Chains A and B, each alone.
Chain A
Amino acid sequence: MDNLQDRQDVPIWNAIEAKNFKQALKLVDKRLAKKSTDYLEALKIYIRSLLPQVSEKSAVILHLEDVVARKAVLSDLAAIELYEDALEEVLPGSREVWIKTIGELRWRCIKAVPKNEDTSLACLQSCLSRDDLDHARQIANSLEKNFPNSHLYIFWNITSMFMFSISPQCPENQRKIWGGLALGQIGKLAAATRQATDMKQLPIRSIQTPQELLLLDRITEVFGKSENRLEYLQDKHLGPESTVAKGEWSLWRLRLKLMTEANHWQDLFDLCGTLLKRARTPNDSNQLVEASFSDWTVWEAYLKSASKLENRGNYNEIREEVEAHLDPACEIDKGWKRNASLAKVKLSFECSASFSQNAPSIGPSDKLSSQPNVILDYLQEYGDASTAYNDIRQFVEVLKPDERSQLMSMLEDNTALEKPQQPTGPVDPEAADISDSRNLSTASKITRAVNRLKLKHLIKSSIPEQERRQSFAETQQFKCSSCANDCGVFCRSCLVQLAEESVQSYRSAISDDGQITKSLLSTDRHPADDFCVLAAMCLIKLGRSNISPHSENLKSSGIVYLLQAMVLLESAWLRSKSNFQLSLMLVRLYSHLGCGSLAMRAYQRLFLKEVQLDTLSYTMFDRISTLHPHPIHDSSGGSSNTRTLIEQLQKQQKLYKTSREHINKNIWLSFKHGSYNSIFEFREVTQKLSHSISAVMSVVETNRIHRFITSKVPAGAIRQMYGLIPADVESRERVLSDNNDYETFPNFESSRAPGFEELSRFIPGPSESRYRVTLLAERIMLIVDPSPELNGERSILQQSLSRHIKQDSTSKVGVKSMTRAEQIAAHAHRAMAIILTESCDQELWLEGDFKTRLEGLNQELSNRLEELAELIGAMETVIPAFQTTLNAIYTAYEVGRSALNFCKYLSTKGKAVHLSQTEASKKVTQAAEQLIRVVMEKCAFIKKGLDEGGWIDKVLESVFPDSQTGSELSLTEAVRKVTDEVFMEEWAGDVVESWKDSIAGFSYIKIPTKV
């Protein structure tokens, strides 16, 4: 009863609350007969919107359109709100109709009562929440005009104009008008600030806050000139140094960036020098209040400007600044000192590039000016921090080959890496074990050793791999620059050696008599984890380089390496349960080996929530319907682990809905608090979430799982689909947003090489092109779905399909983003899409070659179904079933089933379908049935194989094979020593159970009932 206006309305609202809508209508009519008001008219429409009849719902829309068409002005906000509620009942979430009707009524209301501030604010908030930017702009303008003493409204008007001008809602020919107006107005405010004599008493119409300065920059960036941006940022009243800026760091960053872009090298050099000096200079209270000017951004700009100026004197100034920062008497925080140390490294490299002869000394002796030594200097000082490797990686990458070898020798010798007070010298190989355990007795020693090993991996493995990847060699056969052995892109010998060293170091570190291991809290991660991660990375590379597409035998060396990686990671997780990188790698490995339930166990250890469901759910749910579409056996217990796949995907989908509300709420809050920059950032988040490829994934996977388990997609899931997939997604111009987080995977690779997340993909990763293809397939499957629940949806889906086919007439299917089975399925679905569209288009029948064309399409469809059957039939080594096998089987089954539904659907259309389709459909049916039979035979074969005994022993034999010799045997032995028998047997049992659980889904596979 929020909208109650009059005591006499109480019976009407009581009837509404009792859901007695007929009575409510009768009562409102009675009141209307006595006295017609806008409120009562709206109340009547609201009641009609609650009625179930479609005719009533249509009447609501018609009435609203009529109110707008007759230029009615409703000054009663309660009436508009009732209309708004009515529209929401009829067309929930509808944006365009809302703008045309409610948005327009709200704006007219403001025009009628412009001095009513509360009404204006309510309407502005409402328009912003519906992304009705044109009306919002007009209301903000009205607020500014009618309340000229409000500083806030001046900026609301500018913000609204600018927001409208850069939105897709703004007609192309109006962009410059509104953008130009926003620029002009804020420019005047900037001028007022510049001209002010007293910065403490600025006029209302002036820029007064850091957020207003950021808005000035944002608008000038889009509609002004870049020199104006820099001019503002260099102005004493508007720049970062001004009273108005209140030291806003982002304005400094912008100023440095723009000076760099404008090639103002001397000014930039001087500015950076000044800032760095200020950073280390105490104020009157002896405090370093400007220490944050030692930010790496400033050092980088300082070094860059020096390199552009090519004046040796500048480098000397930088060297002096570095020394001043590193002077023990300088009390600047260690975080900032580290920047100076890193600048020292960069300085050495920059000097070398600029003055290859006679580079200025940057250390106490000439020896230290050699670049590998500069790197070692840094490692000596900061090698006990995990970030040292990331800090130094970029410099190692630019070393010449002989310098790399020099650094490698130093790393191999393990000399000069410790801080000077620690003993150094060659290691006695016989005492290696004892020495290792002594050296790895503290967290900082372990971290130093980890950094050393990561650098060895970089020099020995990652950099050469990238060089080989980029070479134009046709054969992919190379001579390894590290070990001189023959190799492919990956050098087996080097990787085995690195993996073994990592495993041995890991074992030494964890065999510490409880010094570190036992003192770890459950929320801590073990400092030696990265040894294990590095070992697993090497093993995964070895696994990848030793797998042929059809070889999935547990005895193949590729699988041996992958199983060893899993063992290491799983055992490391037991000691370090908070290490999410271990879990991310395990999700990927278990998925690849077809262990869906174990992948889910590892995934659930991540405890993903809220926006993380958008960014990381791809790790588990991308292709879940072709890995494990049936319910997952819960092996790990705990309430959070008992969610079904569908529930987990629904949880993700809920995120998108609630996020919209949260963002709208905070856009308004930002207006109220004058946080203009945040408004634009929030809008960007809205855009990213509303076009998220992960949202598309969740919808498609949900529908597929429903279809697989119950043979139908519930109406609720389809409504969810409409709510989540943006209407403009069909347009090729509309890019889906890939918000997936690929960076949180561990990555020790060269920064010039693909990240490890990409290197460890056994099947193609998420991609926009694949999701577009799956959306097309989804539409077809929904159209041909025999479920009566979908009757209401079919015509809408069919129209959307026709539009899609017309817009995208190419037959291109993204090859790289799909497995072979998915590619064939995509071709089959595309053929179905065109047949569905064209076989019912009687205008096309008149075209001379129509029949031939239709026959061609049907032939293409049959061929693709046969091709899939051949693919499945040809898969030989399929026990146990890994992801590639499961993906092919489930994909083939889905296509076969949708082809059968497709034929069934066309057969129900009678004469609406071209006559020749009847015969063609028979052939397609035969091919589809044959495909499903082949799938079922393969499933039976796999099941029979897995039902045989001895699988645990087979897994154990595969992890620790007897047949190995040399370095591989040595590696295997190292892995064996990290684990114990009890762990191994339990783990192998889990793996076998998981394989069995994965194929339990085969029981859902059957030939659908005939027509």
Chain B
Amino acid sequence: MTSLRPFHATDVFKFNPTNLDPLTETYDLNFYFSYLARWPSLFNLATSPSGTISAYIMGKLESSPSYYITSAHYLPFHAHITALTVAPHARRLGLARVLSQGLEEKGEEYDAWFVDLFVRKSNRIAQALYKGMGYSVFRVVKGYYSDDPNDESADGEDAWDMRKPLRRDVERKHVRSDGEKWEVMPEDVW
């Protein structure tokens, strides 16, 4: 079954089914709570019939700070998927799709230009999912992740910055068809 609800602060006591998975990082409470404090409607989860957490999405709506406006890497007002995680037992059910669609709708409602996210270069399953939902690679962020869960000896891993344009971007100014060729460094990413 698919049932969504907002993430409550006390859900941090119950998110182990998603967060014990090695691809999901567990941060300090400040991280989760700052999203609940600033963008409570963009932090949602899916539950199982027994009420356990099957998946959740953390999102935000923002633009780069105004002092950054002259930078080539300035980001206009957009929605960002900070975390989207599905518990191993609940994969292939379409939960990631319904959760991210919810964020896209919020992006549309607040007149954002696009939705973006970062995904590990090695995470082919997630990339295929996002491509299927209309996301494309905008740029590659070199060494964005400090670790590589598939290779303990590696220094880090690149990220793909993927984007899906929203209605406001009529001319598709904020997406690229050849994004995999565009490389930036982590410090260029706000």
Contact = CB atoms under 8 A, between A and B. Distances in A.
B1 A391 contact: yes
Interface in A218-267: 246-250, 253
Contacts of B36: 666, 670, 675, 678, 681-682
A910 B105 CA distance: 78
B89 A387 contact: yes
A335 B105 contact: no
Given A296-B1, A739-B13, A523 B150 contact: yes
A662 B9 CA distance: 12
A246 B2 contact: no
A338 B97 CA distance: 14
B2 A685 contact: no
A673 interface: yes
A521 interface: yes
A174 interface: no
A930 interface: no
A800 B12 CA distance: 34
A335 B2 contact: yes
Nearest to B29: A662
Contacts of A669: 33-34, 37-38
Contacts of A594: none
Interface string A620-650: 0000000000000000000000000000000
Contacts of A289: 105
A385 B92 contact: yes
A443 to B, nearest CB: 9
Interface in B60-105: 88-95, 97-98, 101-102, 105
Given A387-B54, A681-B9, A685-B12, A394 B93 contact: no
A338 B37 contact: no
Interface in A475-527: 521-523, 525
Interface in A248-297: 248-250, 253, 289, 291-292, 294-297
A372 interface: no
A670 B37 contact: yes
A443 B103 CA distance: 30
Nearest to B95: A335
Contact of B41 (A210, A384, A739): A210
Nearest to B105: A289
B94 A610 contact: no
Nearest to A248: B41
Interface stretch (A46-54, A181-189, A611-619, A812-820): A611-619
A612 B34 CA distance: 18
Nearest to B92: A385
Interface residues of B, number: 54
A663 interface: yes
Interface stretch (B18-26, B138-146, B169-177, B180-188): B18-26
A334 B94 contact: yes
Nearest to B97: A333
Contacts of A580: 16, 20-21
Given A289-B105, A333-B97, A741-B14, A678 B40 contact: yes
A851 B3 CA distance: 67
B97 A335 contact: yes
A390 interface: yes
B27 interface: yes
A578 B44 CA distance: 25
Contacts of A521: 122, 150
A291 B3 contact: no
A744 interface: yes
Given A386-B90, A743-B52, A751-B50, A333 B33 contact: no
A147 interface: no
B38 A684 contact: no
A609 interface: yes
B121 to A, nearest CB: 13
Contacts of B179: none
A234 B3 CA distance: 22
B37 A666 contact: yes
A743 B29 contact: no
A302 B98 CA distance: 21
Contacts of A386: 88-91
A677 B10 CA distance: 12
Contacts of B131: none
Given A578-B22, A610-B28, A295 B50 contact: no
Nearest to A661: B30
Contacts of A682: 9, 33, 36
A342 interface: yes
Nearest to A686: B9
A247 B88 CA distance: 30
A607 interface: yes
Given A249-B6, A523-B149, A741-B13, A663 B102 contact: no
A380 interface: no
Contact of B33 (A297, A662, A677): A662
B94 A390 contact: no
A294 B40 CA distance: 22
A333 B10 contact: no
A394 B51 CA distance: 13
B70 to A, nearest CB: 28
B140 to A, nearest CB: 20
A666 B105 contact: no
Contacts of A688: 10, 13
Contacts of B34: 666, 669
Nearest to B89: A386
A533 to B, nearest CB: 11
A296 B46 CA distance: 10
B93 A335 contact: yes
B114 to A, nearest CB: 17
Nearest to B19: A612
24 contacts: A249-B44, A289-B105, A296-B1, A333-B97, A334-B94, A335-B95, A394-B49, A522-B150, A609-B26, A610-B29, A612-B26, A615-B14, A615-B16, A659-B28, A663-B29, A669-B37, A673-B37, A675-B38, A678-B36, A681-B9, A685-B12, A743-B52, A744-B16, A751-B50
Given A580-B21, A675-B40, A741-B14, 7 more contacts: A246-B41, A247-B109, A296-B2, A339-B2, A390-B49, A522-B149, A578-B22
